[in-house]
Amino acid sequence: MELLLGFVIAALIAMTGVGAGTVTAPLLILFLRVPVAQAVGTALVFAAAVKLVVVPVQIWQKNVVWRTLGVMLLTGVPGVMLGTLLFEHVVRLDADRFWVYLALGIMIAVSSAWHIFRHFRPRALETRRQPRPGWLAAAMLPVGVEVGFSSSGAGALGTLALLSLTRLDAAAVVGTDLAFGLCLSVIGGGMHLAGGGVDGPLLGKLIAGGLVGALAGTTLASRIPARAMRLALAVWLLVIGVQLCWHAAALAHS
């Protein structure tokens, strides 16, 4: 089951560009019943492993804008470190399920709604695309915190920031954001790993399936209507996000 899950998640990432953390963590929590304290760290390390396969292709295709990536990492790196430390503090307080369910649910619901909006209004942000590196750096701090705390956010929020605060074309937005997500996943995942927040045997199976899935997804990407698949995936993730918020509300009243 874990091998298949890793394969499917990685293939979807390669074909649609949807962030690994957004997909992996809720599936581990809801379907495999992995404890929250280990699901977030495992999802981050898995995201790093998958993006280590995907990002070199983006670099080879010259889709990574290094100057913009540097601006993003300037505050994104401190943010992911802060978010990871905050997560560890919440886990020690034994309140991890409520807060992570809530953070993941809100993040997934918002990012899914954003993907659905972009599907029907792909040119909505074109008139606002002015280069604002200061605002871009400021926006990446909370994005980093969200990634460290819940493993999600780099894909949707990073893409939104790049679309609205830079003049990068679509290919450069995807490549630069994937590279940004890789850096945050490596740092955040490493901190979770050092703190014992990663399920090693599960991670090994996810990566084994994910490496094959990433290669398969990259091969199939040009043959499958990615736009329609991205919409279907966004609608499904919206349901997952609402479900996580519902779980958080149930825990708050229990």
Each residue's pLDDT expressed in tens, for the chain with a length of 254 residues? 788 888 888 887 766 666 666 778 888 888 888 888 888 899 899 988 888 888 888 899 899 999 999 999 999 999 999 999 988 888 776 656 677 778 778 877 877 787 787 777 766 555 555 678 889 999 999 899 989 988 877 777 787 788 778 888 878 888 898 899 999 999 999 999 998 889 899 999 999 988 888 778 767 766 766 567 667 767 877 877 787 788 778 777 76
CA distance 110 to 233: 14
Ordered by start, the domain boundaries in the chain are 2-252
Query: Is 13 within 8 Å of 19 (Cβ atoms)?
Result: yes
How many CB atoms within 10 Å of residue 103? 26
Residue with tokens 């298949």: 4
pLDDT value at residue 126: 53
142 phi and psi, to 5 degrees?
A: -65, -30
How many CB atoms within 10 Å of residue 146? 24
Task: Map the chain to HEC letters.
Answer: CHHHHHHHHHHHHHHHCCCHHHHHHHHHHHCCCCCHHHHHHHHHHHHHHHHHHHHHHHHHCCCCCHHHHHHHHHHHHHHHHHHHHHHHHHHHCCCHHHHHHHHHHHHHHHHHHHHHHHHHCCCCCHHHCCCCHHHHHHHHHHHHHHHHHHCCCHHHHHHHHHHHHCCCCHHHHHHHHHHHHHHHHHHHHHHHHHCCCCCHHHHHHHHHHHHHHHHHHHHHCCCCCHHHHHHHHHHHHHHHHHHHHHHHHHHHCC
* Cβ neighbours of residue 228 closer than 8 Å, sequence gap 6 or more: none
